[in-house]
Amino acid sequence: MTPLSCEVLVIGGGATGAGVAWDCALRGFDTVLVERRDLAEGTSGRFHGLLHSGARYAVKDVAAAEECIGENMVLREIAADSIEDSGGLFVTTPEDDPAYGDALVAGCGRVGIPIEEIPVAEALRREPRLNPGIQRAFAVPDAGIDAWKCVGALARGAQGHGARILRYHRVTGILRDGDRVVGAEVRDELRGEDVRIEAGFTLNASGAWAAQIAHMAGVEGVGVVPGKGIMIAMNHRLVNTVINRCTMPADGDILVPIRTVSVIGTTDVHMADPDDLPIPQDEVDQMLDDGERLVPGFRRARALRVWAGVRPLFSDAKEEVESRDVSRGHALLDHRTRDGIDGLLTITGGKWTTYRLMAEETVDAMCAQLGEERPCTTRTAKLPGSEDGSLYHLGARLKWKEGHLNDEQLVCECEIIPRGRLEDELRSRGTTNLDDIRRALRLGMGPCQGGFCIYRATGILHAVGRLSGPEANASLLGFLQERWKGVWPILYGDQLRQARLDDWIFQGVLGVQDLPGAHDPPPGRVAAGPQDADAHGEPGDEAARAKGAPSAAPGSADDEPTAAWDGVSS
């Protein structure tokens, strides 16, 4: 068993865990973060992309609303590169009570959320696809936040301050020394090894899985209710402003433009197991009908992908409650006072928008237990890629491409991903998993859902990642299966046509069903990274040439990778 030691072990690689690791690293703690899969693969990457203004909670949960508006303003400064200032509208549909708008304005006023009622005609001018029957409209400072980009930046920032970010490291046990937690045993899923991590302090930031981790530490009764929500990404920006229904928060009442798509969400169903999240037909229909209320014709628009995420809803009460009524606020559990166990804090509940605040409170509490005076700096420390403070703009990649029309091969036209960027990502991340690459670069996330780019990416992965054929095949087939999972429950209309065209390519032209290993059990995460790839033989000379080849991406050798291509500063 490989031993590791650190001052702080963070469990969980979502927004909260990555935020905690960034906070710890900035305060000078020697930090290790373990995540059982890819960063932001659990809850954080499975939301609609809404950076709340707080208006959604202004009537019902003033504390949550205050936190949201405060953090919204902070994140615009420190994580600008992940945020699109799309703005938000609350609209009163013909089915909604117009009086709620007055309560909304009053609530926002109480907590300082800027809100302005605008004429319906103005709202329809801004968003022509909106239901023309809306009765009232209110503008608020909602925004879009790119989960993967932001969590990736947090992790890179933490690494830049010495933290070790260990993806695909699953906690199998919590180490105890008497009444003290002293680290964890984790399974390195890529190398198939067990790792013992000794830590001065352990921070459980595993969200919906927090009770499972706490249980491993011998702590019972952590009340986390997994609240499942499904979301559907529509192929276009049906709206360019975040649209909220102007009612008490309910299902299917948010439509968020994020990157090239718009996401309708969501549902709220209590689940027993945060890892078992089915997508039933009636929930899909519910989302489509809800979308129809906001944007007439929604059902005829092209649905791209559906997924389910799971909220960690913290509840002290043991009886069943409507989970939307369970606190959206976060919970920081001090296991010393709660359970008599030292060296462990659990942070759970909360919202994406308040991840930073949750991290700050968590690390503050740890410092207090340790008797350390180390002030938090995350309120002002800018994340990598956001140094110049410019907000993300949807046209960034296109703008980049226009400056590089004739000097870069595009691997993915939908998301404008140049070959050099893909090669850099493969090298620097050491991943061979195309689904990880999807999250990092948005490879295969466009209308064709990887129909064209995934074969190309596999060929490049084979050469640059120095994979063997079967490893590349596993990555290709794993991607296709992962994609299919998010596609088949909403396959109709143009997306069905696209999917059949993709089948034509993958099955009819490439014959992937006849690849060596195609019918083996579902491929796990492919293991090989650059460090252990030398064992693999290569046919031909392309791979050999590619091994030492510098990236073709102009400017990428020295520049910070995301600034020129996916940010606005090019």
Partner 1 sequence: VNDAVVIGAGVAGLTAATRIAEAGGRVLVVAKGIGATHLAPGTIDVLGRVDGEPVERPLEALGRLGAGHPYARLPAGTLAAAAEWWRGRFADGPLAPYAYTGTVETSLPLPSPVGAVRRSALVPETMAAGDLRRGEPLCIVGLRPLRDFHAPYAADNLARQGYEARAKVLDLAPEPRPDVNSLGYARAFDDAAFRDRVVAELRGRLAPGESAGFPAVLGLRRPHAAWDDLERRLARRVFEIPTLPPSVPGMRVFATLRERLRRAGARVILNAIVTGAERTGDRVTGVRVKVAAREVVHRGDWIVLATGGFASGGLELDSTWVAREVALGLPVHGVPGRGEARFAPGYLDEQPMARAGIQVDDGLRPLGPDGARAAENVLVAGALLAGAEPWREGSGDGISLGTGFHAGGIVVGARSEAADMGNTSGSIEAIERSGARGAGA
| Cβ distance to partner 1 smaller for residue 205 or 263 | 263
16, 11, 8, 19: which is closest to 381 by C-alpha? 19
CA-based nearest residue to 295, from 333, 334, 254, 261: 254
Q: How far is the CB of 485 from partner 1 (least distance, A)?
A: 7
Our finding on whether 52 is near partner 1 (CB under 8 A) is no
Distance between CA atoms of 18 and 12, rounded to whole angstroms?
8
Among 395, 500, 520, 534, binds partner 1 (CB under 8 A): 500
Residue with Cβ nearer partner 1 (2 or 481): 481
Contact assessment for residue 381 and residue 26, using Cβ atoms and an 8 Å cutoff? yes
Please report whether residue 156 would count as binding partner 1 according to CB under 8 A. Answer: no
Interface positions, 234-253, toward partner 1 (CB under 8 A): none
Q: Which is nearer to partner 1, 321 or 455 (CB)?
A: 455
State how far the Cα of 181 lies from the Cα of 190, in Å rounded to an integer: 26
Q: In the complex, what is the shortest distance from the CB of residue 170 to partner 1, in angstroms, rounded to a whole number?
A: 24
Among the listed ranges 24-32, 166-174, 326-334, 500-508, the one in contact with partner 1 (CB under 8 A) is 500-508
Binding of residue 173 to partner 1 (CB under 8 A): no
Minimum CB separation of residue 457 from partner 1 in Å reads 10
Count CB neighbours of 13 within 10 A: 30
Q: Would strands 193-204 and 2-11 be described as parallel, antiparallel, or unpaired?
A: parallel
Do 331 and 361 touch, CB atoms closer than 8 A? no
Q: Does 496 bind partner 1 (CB under 8 A)?
A: yes
* Least distance (Å) between residue 171 CB and partner 1: 28
Instruction: Kindly state whether residue 62 participates in binding partner 1, applying the rule CB under 8 A.
Output: no
Q: Which of 1, 272, 509, 535 binds partner 1 (CB under 8 A)?
A: 509
Q: Please report whether residue 407 would count as binding partner 1 according to CB under 8 A.
A: yes
Q: Is 409 an interacting residue with respect to partner 1 (CB under 8 A)?
A: yes
**Identity of the residue, 116 or 285, whose beta carbon is nearer to partner 1 in the bound complex:** 285
List, in order, residues 6 or more apart from 331 with CB less than 8 Å away: 314, 346, 347, 348, 349, 350
For residues 274 to 313, the per-residue mask of contacts with partner 1, x marking binding by CB under 8 A and - elsewhere, is: --------------x----------xx--x----------
- Residue matched to tokens 């166990």: 341
Q: Does 475 bind partner 1 (CB under 8 A)?
A: no
Amino acid at 440: A
Residue 82 interacting with partner 1 (CB under 8 A): no
CA–CA distance, 14 with 68 (Å, rounded to integer): 18
Nearer to partner 1, 151 or 234 (CB): 234
What is the C-alpha separation between 307 and 505, in angstroms, rounded? 24
Angle between helix 15-26 and helix 355-370 axes, rounded to 10 deg: 50
**Phi/psi at 499 (5° precision):** -65, -40
CA distances from 144 to 50, 72, 87, 440, 449 (A): 5, 10, 8, 17, 22
Up-side HSE of residue 337: CA atoms within 13 Å toward CB? 8
Establish if 110 lies at the interface with partner 1 (CB under 8 A).
no
398 contributes a contact to partner 1 by CB under 8 A: no
Q: Which of 406, 531, 548, 558 forms a contact with partner 1 (CB under 8 A)? A: 406
Nearest to 253 by CA among 305, 289, 301, 307: 289
Q: Is the dihedral of CA 237, 242, 246, 250 positive or negative?
A: positive
Determine the interface stretch with partner 1 among 140-148, 238-246, 477-485, 562-570 (rule: CB under 8 A): 477-485
How many chain residues bind partner 1 (CB under 8 A)? Answer: 63
Contact set for partner 1, span 447-466 (CB under 8 A): 452, 455-456, 458-460, 462-463
Chain residues binding partner 1 by CB under 8 A are 288, 299-300, 303, 406-411, 419, 452, 455-456, 458-460, 462-463, 468-470, 472-473, 476-477, 480-481, 483-485, 488-489, 491-493, 496-497, 500-501, 503-505, 507-516, 518-519, 538-543, 545, 552
